[in-house]
């Protein structure tokens, strides 16, 4: 006969890496049946947190216990490299400590469409880049910047969003440029011309008044981020402009069959350069018809023309 203490010891070992929470499926894999779990729950040794998830005596109860239990119920595990579900939305804000939102449902993002019969759980199907996911005490959560973007684009009211953004700006190691980018899609809806203006507006509404230097820093970071994003296009545009200027400055080449020979092209270019150099040296200019100006005669020589030289007597 299996002793209760042995069952509890097996469960504690199983739950040691996941906040002292276990699921009925995990317990079954470890050789602990649903009947044993039910008996422990009836005695008060373990606590039933939600359908199919139990808290062990060593569990630390807290505001995130329900979220952790709901995440375990999705089939995900803290030791998995590819979680089946990522905490997102208002649930992610609660994990990061952003604002004072009270999530009405546990929200998870999954790569495949999922449905649930649990009224307190909501799934959102989308592909999250690896850079938008971080791990917080064993939970995979959308990053602070991505969480702010989800809140802003998800219809969170201005006041609650303001407090969440203030906490993200003051307590999280997030660049202001990232917050500007996160708020950009919701700027028009919330009456701001762009993400930069919205960031300053929500900070002010939340009671955090950035000084002018900080506001300038936010704008500077935003400009630098924008320049980094546009640099490839700028380089292509500059290269094309330089190529067009060079094509205009190059001398026109005769397109006759004879001029098509490489030697003829070189000769044409060389002759054009020599003509330009000769004009620069002589200080001469051509008129609109291309004729050369008349050659000038020194004055002392002109006065002596037509006169016979004097003969000595």
DSSP string of the chain, one letter each residue: ---HHHHHHHHHHHHTTTTTEEEHHHHHHTT--HHHHHHHHHHTSSEEEETTEEE-TT----TTHHHHHHHHTTT--TT-SS-S-EE-HHHHHHHHT-TT---SSEEEEESS----S-TTEEEEE-PPPGGGEEEETTEEEE-HHHHHHHHHHTT--HHHHHHHHHHHHHHS---HHHHHHHHGGGTTTTT-SSHHHHHHHHHHHTT----HHHHHHHHHHHHHHHHHHHHHHHHHHHHHHHHHHHHHHSPP---STGGGSHHHHHHHHHHHHHHHHHHHHHT----TT-PPPPPP--HHHHHHTT-PPPPP-
* 35-89 residue pLDDT tens: 889 889 999 999 999 999 999 999 988 999 999 999 999 998 886 666 789 999 9
Q: What is the mean pLDDT of residues 19-24?
A: 95
Highest mean pLDDT pick, 206-210, 226-230, 303-307: 206-210
pTM of the predicted protein model: 0.67
Average pLDDT, the chain: 80
Higher pLDDT, 104 or 244: 104
The per-residue pLDDT for 246 is 75
Q: What is the mean pLDDT of residues 149-160?
A: 93
Q: How confident is the model at residue 313 (pLDDT cuts 50, 70, 90)?
A: very low
Residue 131: pLDDT above 80? yes
**Stretch among 5-9, 24-28, 121-125, 253-257 having the lowest mean pLDDT:** 253-257
The per-residue pLDDT for 279 is 62
Higher pLDDT, 5 or 76: 76
* 90-116 residue pLDDT tens: 999 999 999 998 898 999 999 999 989
The per-residue pLDDT for 297 is 46
Residue 22: pLDDT above 70? yes
The per-residue pLDDT for 141 is 96
């Amino acid at each position: 006969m299996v002793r209760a203490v042995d069952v509890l010891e097996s469960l504690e070992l199983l739950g040691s890496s996941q906040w002292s929470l276990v699921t009925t499926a995990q317990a079954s894999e470890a050789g602990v049946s649903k009947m044993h779990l039910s008996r422990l729950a009836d005695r008060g040794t373990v606590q039933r947190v939600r359908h199919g998830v139990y808290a062990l005596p060593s569990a630390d109860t807290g505001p995130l216990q329900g979220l952790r239990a709901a995440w375990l119920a999705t089939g995900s595990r803290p030791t998995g490299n590819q979680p089946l579900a990522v905490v997102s939305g208002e649930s992610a804000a609660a994990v990061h400590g952003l604002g004072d939102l009270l999530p009405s449902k546990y929200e998870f993002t999954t790569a495949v469409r999922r449905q649930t019969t649990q009224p307190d759980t909501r799934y959102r199907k989308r592909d999250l880049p690896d850079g938008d996911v971080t791990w917080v005490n064993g939970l995979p959560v959308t990053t602070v910047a991505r969480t702010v973007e989800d809140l802003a684009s998800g219809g969170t009211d201005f006041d609650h969003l303001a407090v969440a953004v203030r906490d993200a700006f003051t307590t999280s190691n997030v660049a202001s440029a990232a917050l500007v980018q996160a708020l950009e899609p919701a700027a028009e809806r919330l009456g701001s011309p762009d993400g930069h203006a919205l960031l300053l507006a929500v900070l002010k509404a939340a009671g955090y008044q950035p000084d002018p230097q900080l506001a300038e820093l936010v704008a500077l970071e935003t400009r630098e981020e924008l320049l980094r994003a546009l640099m490839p296009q700028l380089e292509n545009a500059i290269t094309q402009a330089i190529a067009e200027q060079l094509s205009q400055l190059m001398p026109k080449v005769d397109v006759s069959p004879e001029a098509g020979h490489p030697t003829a092209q070189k000769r044409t270019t060389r002759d054009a350069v020599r003509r330009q150099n000769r004009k620069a040296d002589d200080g001469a200019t051509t008129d609109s018809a291309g004729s050369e100006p008349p050659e000038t005669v020194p004055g002392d020589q002109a006065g002596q023309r037509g006169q016979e030289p004097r003969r000595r007597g």
